[in-house]
Structure 1
């Protein structure tokens, strides 16, 4: 019988990240939190998600450190869900995914766009290297083995394997 590989045991950071946010409900809940929603009933109404599914996803987001659960009412006890620093750090990922989705649509068919809050002018998000300011979507940036890479990962990402 083959042993199960847990997501946290995988070496690839993409696998690890998807283990935390790979379910589409998770990204939609985070998107709602970025839009100011914090309460169970708000998520449920906006997403039309079942109570059990929402409860499960919120528990996972809290367990993974993306949201914090805080009581906002004592009797009866009610909780809200707020972003942690780790959760907030996912905003650029969600912005990039939304922009990618919109780029495949006719502009008249887009139901949500990213705009400058001060001017209302639509933004065109791109991902750039913080050091050089260069776009990361071209062939001049490639993945390489990091300091903790195993030998198979080092072989996969060696310069010779790219030739």
Structure 2
């Protein structure tokens, strides 16, 4: 699915304009495109140039999706596979390729989520060769909280990782 609307992001009040491409990847062995409400929620929040897919809880599929869309995507948002189940492999898989992990994102996400269960999530932010990668819990409610942080930090983050 492609999002129709486009937003130009101005960074640091400079003359830079970025048209960032987002890829939402739901990681689940049980969801289908018809039942992926978390992916639907994130897509509705982004509302800009984005595409979506769904992969199984499998390290090879998780990484193949990233490298398959590497050249056409700036921001990857993985939804699901960040919990404590033996099947939850998303953050573990991304950690294997990431150049940097920014744990502050996950900490802020858990704080804003409230309660104790978000602390069982391995939500995080990774950087790999000028690409931004988020790993988020699969719950529908988590998407609004995550987006409120993502929308604030992505413009600055993209500027910082792509400047020469």
Output the TM-score relative to the length of structure 1. Answer: 0.25
Q: Which has the higher helix share?
A: 1
- Structure 1 or 2, whichever has the larger Rg, is 1
Q: Which has the higher strand share?
A: 2
| Larger relative contact order (Cα-Cα within 8 Å, sequence gap ≥ 6) | 2
